[in-house]
């Protein structure tokens, strides 16, 4: 009963944390997308307003140039075009149009900078989605981008393996020291849990359930030793994080894992 109560408390706590993580993720995503949308709308409006002003200024210059040309044509007919030609040259000179062109270039640079900020914000939202794991089933615990189930009952290794498969998971495969520490920290004192590690197919050649060879191990002192007349072909993890080999027919608790 005490173990059941502890497991129920852990499951309840894990469920509450999961719901809180989901809520935080939704709120962050909603705020991020609202801010990005407002930024995009503001930039579009600012760029549109500035372009309208520049376009209006250029039209005014073009009209004035055309008016002066017409006056110059009339002036040539009247023999007094020198002053008007000077006005045309002043209007068409680079010095007059350069400020407008510079303003347009500055607006383009600001738009590019804003787009870079927009992309950076999108990357931040994407990274946040990758960090938060919000799809672990009820009763499972999350570490990094993986969900873990710690059984409260016991079964032989093969039955434990089948249980995990039915949950679209597999017996835990330890890939790092951090993962080994996480799993060990969740174990109840004086209780042993199955790993997804065996040498039942080739004695002494320990392999994970996914077929990968054993590259990283945390065997206890003197283990694995394949003791007993029936041999010890399946691996377990103890609360302190050390591993041990025992007969696969023994009934032990187990750990399943699956991606978020």
**Looking at the structure, do residues 81 and 169 belong to the same domain, yes or no?**
no
Q: CA torsion, points 75, 79, 80, 81, in degrees to nearest 10? A: 60
Asked if residue 136 is part of any domain, the answer here is no
Per-residue confidence (pLDDT) for residue 252, from 0 to 100: 97
* pTM confidence score: 0.53
Residues 168 and 250 in one domain: yes
In this structure, the answer to whether residues 156 and 245 fall within a common structural domain is: yes
Measure the CA–CA gap between 167 and 257, rounded to whole angstroms. Answer: 9
Run of H or E residues at 148: strand 146-150
Biggest CA pair distance of the chain: 125
**Same domain, yes or no, for 52 and 15?**
yes
201 & 237 share domain: yes
Q: DSSP letter string over 73-97? A: HHHHHHT--HHHHHHHHHHHSHHHH
Q: Does 79 score more than 60 pLDDT? A: no
Domain boundary among 131, 151, 186: 131
- pLDDT for res 186: 93
Contact yes or no for 6/188 (Cβ under 8 A): yes
Q: Which of 72-86, 131-145, 191-205, 208-222 has the lowest mean pLDDT?
A: 72-86
For 162, the token pair is 């089948």
Residue 62 vs residue 160, higher pLDDT: 160
Q: What CATH number corresponds to the domain at position 154?
A: 3.10.100.10
Whether residue 6 is predicted with pLDDT greater than 50 in this model: the reply is: no
Distance in angstroms (rounded) separating the CA atoms of residues 54 and 105: 11
Q: What are phi and psi of 207, to 5 degrees?
A: -135, 145
In a domain, 162, yes or no: yes
Residue 84 binned pLDDT confidence (cut-offs 50, 70, 90): low
What is the model's pLDDT at position 83? 65
Spatial CB neighbours of 11, under 8 Å, sequence gap ≥ 6: 138, 139
Is the Cβ–Cβ distance between 170 and 161 less than 8 Å? yes
Same-domain status, 115 and 45? yes
Of 73, 98, 131, which residue constitutes the final position of a domain? 131
Domain that holds residue 149: 141-259
Does residue 156 sit in the same domain as residue 126? no
* Residue 73 in domain: yes
Bigger pLDDT: 191 vs 220: 220
Among 131, 165, 188, give the residue marking a domain's end.
Answer: 131
Asked if residue 249 is part of any domain, the answer here is yes
**pLDDT of the residue at 7:** 44
What average pLDDT does this structure show over 207-226?
96
Q: Mean pLDDT, to the nearest integer, of 220-241?
A: 94
SS3 of 227, please? Answer: coil
% the chain with pLDDT above 70: 54
Residue 47 has pLDDT above 70, yes or no: no
Question: What is the pLDDT at residue 197?
Answer: 98
What is the total count of domains within the chain?
2
Q: Both 13 and 120 in a single domain?
A: yes
Strand, helix or coil at 199?
coil
The yes-or-no verdict on residue 4 having pLDDT over 50 is no
Element (H, E) at 168: none
44 and 121 co-located in one domain: yes
Name the pairing type of β-strands 193-198 and 141-143. unpaired
Whether residues 51 and 13 fall in one domain:
yes
pLDDT of residue 43: 61
Q: For all residues of the chain together, what is the average pLDDT?
A: 77
Encode pLDDT of 107-153 as tens digits.
777 777 766 766 666 566 555 555 555 678 999 999 988 999 999 99
Considering the domain architecture, whether residues 150 and 214 belong to the same structural domain is answered as yes
Radius of gyration of the chain (CA): 36
């Amino acid at each position: 009963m005490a173990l059941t109560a502890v497991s129920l408390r852990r499951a309840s706590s894990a469920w509450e944390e999961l719901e809180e993580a989901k809520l935080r993720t939704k709120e962050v995503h909603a705020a991020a997308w609202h801010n990005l949308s407002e930024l995009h709308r503001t930039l579009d409006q600012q760029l549109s307003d500035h372009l309208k002003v520049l376009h209006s200024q250029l039209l005014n210059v073009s009209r004035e140039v055309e008016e002066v040309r017409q006056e110059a044509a009339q002036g040539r007919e009247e023999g007094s075009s020198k002053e008007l030609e000077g006005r045309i040259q002043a209007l068409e000179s680079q010095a007059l149009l350069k400020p407008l062109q510079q303003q347009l270039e500055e607006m383009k640079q600001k738009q590019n900078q804003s787009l870079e900020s927009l992309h950076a914000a999108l990357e931040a939202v994407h990274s946040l989605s990758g960090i938060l794991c919000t799809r672990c089933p009820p009763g499972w615990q999350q570490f990094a981008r993986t969900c873990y189930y710690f059984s409260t009952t016991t079964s032989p290794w093969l039955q434990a393996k089948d249980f995990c498969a039915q949950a679209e998971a597999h017996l835990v495969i330890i890939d790092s020291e951090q993962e080994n520490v996480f799993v060990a920290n969740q174990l109840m004192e004086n209780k042993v849990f199955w790993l997804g590690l065996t040498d039942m197919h080739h004695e002494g050649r320990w392999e994970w359930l996914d077929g990968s060879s054993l590259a990283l191990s945390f065997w206890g002192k003197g283990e694995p030793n394949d003791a007993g007349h029936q041999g010890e072909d399946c691996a377990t993890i103890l609360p302190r994080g050390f591993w041990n080999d025992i007969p696969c027919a023994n009934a032990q608790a187990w750990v399943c894992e699956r991606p978020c």
